[in-house]
Structure 1
Amino acid sequence: MPKINGNEIRPGNVLEHNDGLWVAVKVSHVKPGKGGAFAQVEMKNLRNGSKLNERFRAADKVERVRLEQKDQQFLYEADGMLVFMDQETFEQIELPADILGERRPFLQDGMTVTMEYYENEALSATLPQKVTCRIVETEPAVKGQTAANSFKPAVLDNGVRIMVPPFVSQDEDVIVNTETMEYAERA
């Protein structure tokens, strides 16, 4: 694995530090009046989610890790475990349902998910950016209400509550952005 200098760390870099895998969340370069410059790095542990603030000087060497990305197809859920299939080898893998966090309700049967691996260990899963969902409950449109900056609450078929424009009605399909968990457009 390549080693990089402390001042070369960028947000999104995955680093091996203190016997753990960390992703750099925020990086700010500080040049104090006295002493040498350093990079103040806020990191998040990929395995347990803990956070750490660390200072790296330009002379400090850090191990940069490259994660392997594979597309996996979601098959089913059993006993709190999600079962995925590798689309090239047809090998099946079980991962805990909490690997997706709050985006778990958007996972649909047969959906292709991008997994990030480090030496055969699945660290994270990313859903497609846009998912189609059906609205099961929302208020009817109020006559005379304009679409300019007015939204109403709605419940999707997966139980997630989002805000939608007033022209969207019940039993309609909408496209939801899974990163921001917000309404994107009509389907």
Structure 2
Amino acid sequence: MPKINGNQIAPGNVIEHDGGLWVAVKTNAVKPGKGGAFNQVELKNLIDGRKLNERFRADATVEAIDLELKDFSFLYAQGESLVFMDLESYEQIELASDWVGERAAFLQDGMKVTLQMHEARPISIKLPTHVILEIVEADPVVRAQTATSSYKPAKLENGLRVLVPTFIEAGERIVVDTNDVAYIRRAE
């Protein structure tokens, strides 16, 4: 694994520190009047999400970690597990649905996802940014609302709720942002 100096750590770098994998979220190069320069780095643990602020002197070295990106296809949910297939080797892996989090509700049969892997172990999952889902329930419009800025609650086919413009009705298909769980536009 390549080593980098403490002053070379930049946002997005993944490093090994204190026996764990950390991603640099923010960095700030500090050059005090007295003493040596250092890099103030905000780190986030890739496994458990803990945050840490650490000072790295310019002459300190850390292990830079390269994560492998692999494409998988979502196959099905089985109890508390989600089953994915590696698109290159066709091997299947199971991930706990709570590891994927609430965004697991967006997974659809055959959906392509990207896993960040470290030593064949999944570290994070990236879903498509937008998915198309059907509205199964939409609240009626309240008469006093104005059409310009009003939104109403609606239930999606995956059980999640979003706010949609008043002209959207049950049975329509919409584009939803998987990161913000928000309405984008009508599906074409």
TM-score relative to the length of structure 2: 0.90
Aligned to 2:175: 175
Aligned to 1:117: 117
Amino acid at match of 1:170: A
- Asked if 1:21 corresponds to 2:1, the answer is no
Q: Which runs of 4+ in 1 moved over 4 A?
A: 142-147
Aligned to 1:134: 134
List runs of 5+ in structure 1 lacking aligned partners.
none
Shift of 1:146: 4.8
The 1-side partners of 2:38 and 2:144 are apart by 57
Tell me the alpha carbon deviations over residues 97-125 of structure 1, each in whole angstroms, 9 at most, x when there is no partner: 12222211111121111011111111111
Shift of 1:145: 5.0
The 2-side partners of 1:50 and 1:20 are apart by 11
Residues 149, 34 of structure 1: CA spacing in aligned structure 2 closer, same or farther, 3 A cutoff? Answer: farther
Which secondary structure state, in structure 1, belongs to the residue aligned with residue 104 of structure 2? helix
The 2-side partners of 1:39 and 1:9 are apart by 8
Amino acid at match of 2:97: A
Listed as ranges, the matches of 1:35-184 within 5 Å are 35-142=35-142, 146-184=146-184
Aligned to 1:3: 3
Which secondary structure state, in structure 1, belongs to the residue aligned with residue 148 of structure 2? coil
List runs of 5+ in structure 2 lacking aligned partners.
none
The 2-side partners of 1:95 and 1:165 are apart by 35
The 2-side partners of 1:163 and 1:32 are apart by 50
Residues 80, 142 of structure 1: CA spacing in aligned structure 2 closer, same or farther, 3 A cutoff? Answer: same
The 2-side partners of 1:19 and 1:11 are apart by 20
Residues 50, 76 of structure 1: CA spacing in aligned structure 2 closer, same or farther, 3 A cutoff? Answer: same
- Quick check: 1:145–1:166 contact (8 Å CA) kept in 2? no
CA RMSD of aligned residues (A): 1.8
Which secondary structure state, in structure 1, belongs to the residue aligned with residue 149 of structure 2? coil
